[in-house]
Amino acid sequence: MQETELELLQRTSMAMYLGMDALYQLHAEVTLDGNDGPELACAHCSQLADGVVVYPCPSVQILLTDFFDVTSETSEPAESEELSS
Cis peptide before 38 (omega within 30 of 0): no
Is 32 strand, coil or helix? strand
Residue 1 has pLDDT above 80, yes or no: no
Residue 72 has pLDDT above 60, yes or no: no
Higher pLDDT, 66 or 17: 17
| For residues 60-71, average pLDDT | 72
Residue 81 has pLDDT above 50, yes or no: no
User: Residue 36 class from Cβ within 10 Å (0-12 exposed, 13-18 middle, 19+ buried)?
Assistant: exposed
| For residues 36-62, average pLDDT | 92
